[in-house]
Every structure is written in structure tokens, then in C-alpha cells.
């Protein structure tokens, strides 16, 4: 329940709660992956159950699909939806231009496909995710398993000429084995420290053989909803150039919080 949430979870919850207000009856909605996006799915599920909201959700991972079905959201594939009205997802980092690093949860490929197949993308995040320059969070790069070490070497060689602080790369692990994405690929995490030119880096990395996609989301996000632990919510619209602030009261919502661990 909300009274038992940590400040960071309260921030995630109020951001998700506020973003859910953008969802309207009949929409086809992309559902993100990660802890903040999970709050959004729960909020939408409550609206479906309690308010009769009728939406179709396109999940960006098998984990999100399972949660969405559990809370009563009608789940369809992107091929069935063809195009989406809105995608709401979290981010590992965002900057003043609403450029993002995503992929900490390992779903960056589906997340980017779904986000770019939408009329609008809204990012929900706690205030700690805002940075002056992208790069403190390791940049995920999805690569095919075949020849992944060659792809890694080519990436490291390419980083020498890029405007970044660090060039260390690591294979993401799941215990003693390589982490495997929903598409059966591996993820290389690039520990760059600071990215000087995110647009250039994204384009160059994607040209390397074996690379499927990278976690830089450039010119994709339209709005960011930032939550704070005291209930404040800030909404920034990059297209309209507007910033608005609100405050959400915490209430006990048994249907939303019971039996739904992150």
C-alpha cells in the first residue's frame, strides 16, 4: 500500500498515476517494461476494472504481457494493433532534450519498435533519472549471439573516435550465464561515463555488424512525467515547450497494491 512505499516507489507511483490520465477509452497503448512501467500497468488495470476503461495494450516484454493480463488489460500484438495511439514507458536516464537511455530491463529492442510505432511516447520516471548529460547509466547494446565477442571488439574500437569518457564494455550476465533477451540475443553494456554526441553514437554503433539495436532513444519521447517522493508530479512537453506541476494525494488502494510485487 502507498503508506508502506519508499520515497522512490512513491515517486514512481505518482508519475505512473499521472501518466495514466493521458489514456482514453478505445486507445491502443504501448506498455513499457521495468519497475516504473509496472506501476503504470497496475494503474491502467485498476481503471479497466473499476472505471470500465476499454483499451488494448501492446506489451514490450513477456514480463509486461503477463502483468497486463493479470490486471485485466486486453493484450494484443503490435502486428494486430498495426499502429498505436500512445506508448508509456520508463527510462534509465533522460536529459533536457528528452533524449533517453533505455534497456536496463533488457527489453530495449521491443521498447524502441513499439515507441516508434506510436503517435506519442510518454516517459514516466522519478526525478533521479534526470541527468545533465547521458552516459552515467551504462548504455545497453543488443547483439546477436553469433560472434558477439567480435561485435564487442568492433564497438570498443569504434568508441575510440567517439565523444565519450569511458570505453569499457561488459557482457550482461544472468547468474553465471549470459543474459538473453526475449528475441534470444545478448546485451553488451557500454560504460561510457558521459556521452557528448548521443545522436552520432547511436547511428555509428548501429552500423557495426552483429549489433541489433542500441538503447539511445533520440527524438522519440514527446513528454516526460516526473514523480517526486512527496507526491509532486511535473509534466514536460518537448513539442509544446510547456512545463506543468501537480500534486497527487496518496490513498490506500487495495486492488492496486495487493499481491503485485515488482
Question: Parallel, antiparallel, or unpaired: how do β-strands 216-217 and 168-171 relate?
Answer: unpaired
How many Å apart are CA 61 and CA 77, to the nearest integer?
A: 11
Question: Parallel, antiparallel, or unpaired: how do β-strands 86-89 and 28-31 relate?
Answer: parallel
DSSP letter for each residue of 2-69? GGGS-HHHHHHHHHHHHHHTT--TT-EEEE--SHHHHHHHHHHHHHHHHH----EEEESSHHHHHHHH
DSSP 128: G
Residues with catalytic annotation?
111
Q: List the Cα angle 134/136/141 in 5-degree steps.
A: 75
Within a 13 Å sphere around the CA of 97, how many CA atoms are in the beta-carbon half? Answer: 13
How many Å apart are CA 233 and CA 228, to the nearest integer?
A: 6
Q: Which residues make up each annotated binding site? A: 33-36, 89-92, 102-105, 129
Q: List the Cα angle 202/158/99 in 5-degree steps.
A: 20
Q: Which residues make up each annotated binding site for substrate? A: 33-36, 89-92, 102-105, 129
Amino acid at each position: 500500500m502507498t503508506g508502506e512505499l519508499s520515497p522512490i516507489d512513491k515517486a514512481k507511483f505518482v508519475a505512473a498515476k499521472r501518466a495514466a490520465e493521458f489514456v482514453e477509452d478505445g486507445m491502443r497503448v504501448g506498455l513499457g517494461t521495468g519497475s516504473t512501467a509496472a506501476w503504470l500497468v497496475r494503474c491502467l488495470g485498476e481503471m479497466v476494472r473499476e472505471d470500465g476503461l476499454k483499451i488494448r495494450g501492446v506489451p514490450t516484454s513477456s514480463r509486461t504481457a503477463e502483468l497486463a493480463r493479470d490486471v485485466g488489460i486486453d493484450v494484443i500484438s503490435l502486428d494486430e494493433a498495426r499502429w498505436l495511439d500512445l506508448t508509456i514507458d520508463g527510462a534509465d536516464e533522460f536529459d533536457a532534450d528528452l533524449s533517453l537511455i533505455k534497456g536496463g530491463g533488457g527489453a530495449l529492442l521491443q521498447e524502441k519498435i513499439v515507441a516508434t510505432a506510436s503517435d506519442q511516447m510518454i516517459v514516466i520516471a522519478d526525478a533521479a533519472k534526470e541527468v545533465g548529460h547521458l552516459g552515467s547509466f551504462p548504455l545497453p547494446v543488443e547483439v546477436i549471439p553469433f560472434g558477439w565477442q567480435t561485435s564487442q571488439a568492433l564497438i570498443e574500437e569504434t568508441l575510440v573516435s567517439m565523444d565519450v569518457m569511458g570505453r569499457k564494455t561488459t557482457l550482461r550476465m544472468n547468474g553465471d550465464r549470459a543474459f538473453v533477451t526475449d528475441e534470444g540475443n545478448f546485451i553488451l553494456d557500454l560504460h561510457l561515463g558521459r556521452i557528448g554526441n548521443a545522436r552520432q553514437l547511436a547511428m555509428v554503433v548501429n552500423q557495426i555488424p552483429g549489433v541489433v539495436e542500441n538503447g539511445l532513444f533520440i527524438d522519440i519521447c514527446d513528454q516526460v512525467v516526473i514523480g517526486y517522493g512527496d507526491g509532486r508530479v511535473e509534466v514536460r512537453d518537448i513539442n509544446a515547450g510547456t512545463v506543468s506541476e501537480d500534486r497527487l494525494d496518496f490513498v490506500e488502494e487495495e486492488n492496486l497494491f495487493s499481491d503485485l510485487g515488482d
